[in-house]
Amino acid sequence: MESKALHIDHINRVYFLGVGGIGMSAIARYFLLQGAEVSGYDKTKTPLTEQLEKEGVEIHYEENPDAIPEQLDLIVYTPAIPEEHAEWEKIRTLQVPIKKRAEVLGLISQGRRTIAVAGTHGKTSTSSMTTAFLRSAGKDVTGFLGGIVKDFKSNFVHGKSDWVVVEADEFDRSFMHLNPEICVLLSMDADHLDIYGDHTEMMHTFRDFTLNIKDGGSLLIAASIVHMLDLEWKKALLDKDIKIFSFGNNEGWYKSLNLEPAQHTFQFEFHKHEAFQFASHIAMPGKHNVSNATGALGVCDILECDHQKLATAVQEFQGIARRFDFGKKSENQIYIDDYAHHPSEIKVAIQAAKDLYPHKELTVVFQPHLFSRTKDFIDEFAEELSEADELILMDIYPAREKPIPGVTSEVLSRKIKNKKVPVWNEQQVIEYVEKRKNDLEVFMTMGAGNIDRLVQPIKTILNN
């Protein structure tokens, strides 16, 4: 229940239900920097929640309605919290403004000049690169990011200009709370069908989101999906005087040409329209990451950044935790951790590894994320995962969902072509790495669940 008017700049005490989420924690850090008292609940203690506690956020890990502070100005919640959660039940009775994370991000970005990065894949990488490139080129932007960016050692970076970079999340139609001046649209593959029902409905919502771009603003759209802009959609954008720019590898108004893998990086040339601008290389390998960087550079060009500074910024960008994240790089052995959890993401991650290391055997450990996603795309998962030379599956990470009968990792394993695929728990994966630590050539852990708990133990084993 809400009885107070909400002024986002006058928040003194804020409570987060699910404070350890990557998007939630970025907003918690924003309020901390505004001088507010920040507290919250999360189900699990993680390195991120421990860091938040060090920064000044009070966090508890047991459902306890009595631990919710009094005299709050705002409560922020994540849709991942189940309806029957004891604290959520109490919160709904309080005379305090209650907002979803996406609503709060929308309120924060009001009155600012917003750059929104949208798409079913690539949002975190592209928004992080956009933020880092702009800051390196002298634009003091704020960034709310969906991963821990190594350059900032955080998922939030505070800037003093009017510009803010945000991820426009399609889950739960969250991005409809945003009204950006510039939008980057990366992809519109079918996903979150538990929310949308079908791909067509999801596409309609993406269309509605792009029409939230302010009159006279800009839409940068991946050249690979320009064909999805039908005449009616394009006319609606042009009626608002929204400028449309395409970007990508080998095609687009902004394009990258002459891509070449080289010593764990990708070299490329950045072109604007038909004119060469500069050559650079990026430490986030994969053709998909070069395309994402091209979109980020397009934003920088629209904001008239110096191209020489941008060439240096691309080379110096350190990457993002869990986005083609190297845990070991030696002549004989490579370990990569990646957040890929949709068949399209798995495809490009595996292809990037094969492009970089074409003569080495690739072993992948994959943890499916969500029963609904596994059910919707089980054949596509099987097809893309079959490209690994050796594959290990873990049980499906449920996140917010209840199990679906007949949807298991064992069912997925039986669909993989030409190989016997075990389904193992964390301990079995660790024992396997210990046993094979001297002959794993390229080893990848992949998924959006709690598979990240394996990363540090695996790094320790392989680097000792």
pTM (whole model) above 0.85: yes
Query: Domain 325-462, what fold?
Result: Protein-Tyrosine Phosphatase; Chain A (3.90.190)
Residue from 165, 141, 125 nearest 293 by CA: 125
111-316 — its CATH code? Answer: 3.40.1190.10
Assign domain 8-100 to its CATH superfamily.
NAD(P)-binding Rossmann-like Domain (3.40.50.720)
SS3 readout for the chain: CCCCCCCHHHCCEEEEECCCCHHHHHHHHHHHHCCCEEEEECCCCCHHHHHHHHHCCEEECCCCHHHCCCCCCEEEECCCCCCCCHHHHHHCCCCCCEEEHHHHHHHHHCCCEEEEEECCCCHHHHHHHHHHHHHHCCCCCEEEEEEEECCCCEEEECCCCCEEEEEECCHHHHHHHCCCCEEEECCCCCCCHHHHCCHHHHHHHHHHHHCCCCCCCEEEEEHHHHHHCCHHHHHHHHHCCCEEEEEEECCCCEEEEEEEEECCEEEEEEEECCEEEEEEEECCCCHHHHHHHHHHHHHHHHCCCCHHHHHHHHHHCCCECCECEEEEECCCCEEEEECCCCHHHHHHHHHHHHHHCCCCCEEEEECCECHHHHHHCHHHHHHHHCCCCEEEECCCECCCCCCCCCCCHHHHHHHCCCCCCCECCHHHHHHHHHHHCCCCCEEEEECCCHHHHHHHHHHHHHCC
Task: Give residue 82's pLDDT.
Answer: 85
Q: What is the pLDDT of residue 1?
A: 41
pLDDT of residue 83: 85
* The pLDDT of residue 214: 97
Residue spans per domain, the chain: 8-100, 111-316, 325-462
| pLDDT given at position 198 | 86
What residues of the chain score a pLDDT lower than 70?
1-5
pLDDT digits (tens, 9 = 90+) for 333-350: 999 999 999 999 999 999
